[in-house]
Every structure is written in C-alpha cells, then in structure tokens.
DNA sequence: ACCGTAGTACGACGCTTATCGTATGAGCCT
DNA sequence: AGGCTCATACGATAAGCGTCGTACTACGGT
C-alpha cells in the first residue's frame, strides 16, 4: 500500500481499540494482569480516581513503550477500558463487568494492596 | 560421591521444606501463583478438601515433574504448605496466613473460579 | 501549513516459566 | 533385602514476558 494512508484499515473518526466482551473475560487472565507490580499500581490509581485518566497522568518508573504495553495487557485481559479522546487516551477500570463476573474480587485485591502498602510503609 | 549415599546432605528424620514467613508473602506473588490454570485448579481442589491432600490425589493433565513444579511455586509464594508424611507429601492451603494478610482475597478468588466454571459448563 | 505532544509499532534483548524425560532419592511393605 | 511407589533433581527446550530505543502515526493548536 504505497500512497494510500487512510484506507489501510482506519474505520471512521476515532481510532477504535479492541476490548474483550464481558463473557470472554477469564479469571486466570485477570489474575495474571493484576500479578505485575506495575500493572497493580496502575489499577490502584485508576480505582482511586473518580474520572478516567490519561495514560500520562499515572507516573510510572518505566519507559513510554513499556507503559503502553502494560495498558494494553490490562485492556486485552478485560481489566480496563480505553478510548481515544483527541490525542489522549482515557483509561478506566471495568468495574461493572468485573463485579458481575467475579463479585468482590477487585475490591479484595485493592484492599489487599492497600493493606500491604501500609504494612510495607509505602503509599 | 562414590560409596556414600546417606551423608550427602540428609538432615535428620523428616525432610524439611522451605516456606516463606507470613510477613514475607507478597500480593503480587500470590496473584501470580494463582494466575496459572493448573495451579488454580490445584488450589480449588485443596480448598474443597477437608483434609490435606497427597500430591497424587489431584489429577492433573501434566507430567509428574511439572506437577512437582507447580506445587513448589505455590509453596514458595506462600499459598500452600507442604510436609512429608512417610513417602507422601501432604498439601494444604495456608488459609489463616492468607486471610490475615489479605482478608477475603482467597475466598473471592475461589468464588470467582466456581462461578466461571459454572458459566463455562465445567466442574 | 507547521510543529509539538500523546501514544503506537516494531525489533531486540535477557530473564522467567511451563513443559518434558530420565535418573535418583526416601520411605513402606512383603 | 529387594522391590514398589511417591516425589525430587537436573538438564533441555520452547514459549512468554518486561523492558528498552527508535521510528512512525494521529490530533490539536498556533
């Protein structure tokens, strides 16, 4: 595809991101997504925030590409949803879907993370 | 070591296994341990059993060495405890420790696994 | 029309992991 | 004592993952 740029696969206005249907979210995948310290950190920040957050709003000690990678893992495993708004990409927890599928799971993980952070003297 | 057989490193009577102290158990490690389908299966069986279980009591579609591997991961990450009884090795969930560290976490994971199994028509 | 900013794509690298097979060790039973 | 069974140790192998840097795309503002 030499000269054409927009017809490659672009749908319409906003770029679209692939999200798994609720029914396709697997427990092992969710646990795996949460098992990484960096991603757990992202999820904690997202859970604490009222609104959806920009990727860059979450400070992480990793490069931008690595950051993209972690957000994608979270999205593809059904933990967060993402959508483009202008040049930014907004992120939010899929609380409703997860609560419906695995009642109480996310809350207990977040609570466990809080408790452990307190125990270890972090925040 | 040609002729010597027993002095290689054998301690005393019962072989001893390394377990992490409760304070050293990390949430990310526990989640990681539970994120594998095979190990989640082991944990579910262990949770359903009243008594401690022999390794071989849990049927897994993997080789024996792989089985040993998964049990060790669960033990080293603080999810189960193991002890030798005669020729067998008994396994049990570290329910108390985990409940103290991460209240409700194990229960919600087990419940989530049950729900998902029901949804997928397995058991 | 241009540039800057936000994020992606892609390839690379090193480490971890899930799996296996075979050989070995530890304890029970006859 | 000898054999049986449960489980380990030790490679080996192949796949996956976290990380990075650089090059690229997509929007929005001036």
Is A7 among the domain residues?
A: no
Can you tell me the distance from the alpha carbon of B106 to that of B34, in angstroms, rounded to the nearest whole number? 10
Is A14 among the domain residues?
A: no
Asked if B112 contacts B105 with a C-beta cutoff of 8 angstroms, the reply is: no
Contacts of residue A108 in chain B, CB cutoff 8 Å?
A: 102-105, 107-108
Q: How far is CA A2 from CA A7, A11, A13, A47, in A?
A: 11, 19, 22, 44
Greatest CA separation for chain B: 58
Closest by CA position to A59, among listed A72, A81, A44: A44
Give the model's pLDDT for residue B2.
37
Question: Å from B66 (CA) to C18 (C1')?
Answer: 8
pLDDT greater than 60 at residue B4: no
Nucleotides of chain C in contact with protein CB (under 7 A) are 4-11, 17-22, 25-28
For B74-116, what is each residue's pLDDT tens digit? Answer: 999 999 999 998 888 899 999 999 999 999 999 999 999 999 9
Is A42 among the domain residues?
A: yes
Asked if B28 contacts A122 with a C-beta cutoff of 8 angstroms, the reply is: no
Kindly identify which residue of chain B lies nearest to residue A99, measuring between CA atoms: B112
Contacts of residue A31 in chain B, CB cutoff 8 Å?
A: 31-32, 34-35, 40, 109
Number of structural domains (chain A) is 1
For B17-72, what is each residue's pLDDT tens digit? Answer: 899 999 999 999 999 999 999 999 999 999 998 788 888 888 899 999 999 999 99
CATH number at residue A34: 1.10.10.10
């Amino acid at each position: 595809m030499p000269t054409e740029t927009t017809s490659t696969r672009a749908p319409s206005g906003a770029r679209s991101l692939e999200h798994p249907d609720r029914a396709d979210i697997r427990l092992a995948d969710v646990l795996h997504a949460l098992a990484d310290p960096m991603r757990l950190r992202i999820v904690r920040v997202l859970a604490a925030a009222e609104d959806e957050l920009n990727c860059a709003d979450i400070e992480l000690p990793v490069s931008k590409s690595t950051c993209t990678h972690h957000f994608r893992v979270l999205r593809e495993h059904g933990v967060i949803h993402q959508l483009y708004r202008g040049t930014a990409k907004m992120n939010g927890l899929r609380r409703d879907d997860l609560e419906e599928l695995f009642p109480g799971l996310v809350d207990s993980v977040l609570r466990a993370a809080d408790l452990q952070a307190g125990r270890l003297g972090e925040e």
